[in-house]
Amino acid sequence: MGLQYTSDINQQEMFKTYEAKFKALSDQLRLKIMYELNQKGQICVCDLTEIIGLSQSKLSYHLKILLDVNLIEREKIGTWNYYRLNEEEVRGLLSEELCCIFYPEKK
């Protein structure tokens, strides 16, 4: 019985992780952010605000959600934060059809 309980806990944690990742993907702005990061590579948050059309504080809110679930990565260079898509995580999470939205050249 103890083994089953441990397995259930691990499964619950796994489901929570996937739930958080898919919740992060369920917002059009966050999908646009991911799309732009894929198209342009690593982008400074200052440039991303112009591309996305959000204030830095609103953009930071969405970036944190994506960071928390490992869909994007951040690198601090000087005083600026630069963001890029975590391609390995995205490819591992999304189906082939959805993946083609972000990686049309791989279709």
Residues 77-105 pLDDT 10s: 999 999 999 999 998 887 665 555 566 66
What is the C-alpha to C-alpha distance for residues 12 and 19, in angstroms, rounded to an integer?
A: 10
- Which residue range is the domain that position 69 belongs to? 2-106
Predicted TM-score (pTM) of this structure:
0.79
**Residues near 71 by beta carbon (within 8 Å), at least 6 away in sequence:** 21, 24, 25, 34, 85, 86, 89, 90, 93
Asked whether 106 and 71 are in contact (CB, 8 A), the reply is no
CATH number for position 93: 1.10.10.10
d(CA 71, CA 91): 10
> How many CB atoms within 10 Å of residue 65?
19
**Domain count across the chain:** 1
Q: Under DSSP, is residue 82 helix (H, G, I), strand (E, B) or coil? A: strand
14 pLDDT above the threshold of 90: no
Highest mean pLDDT among 14-23, 43-52, 87-96: 43-52
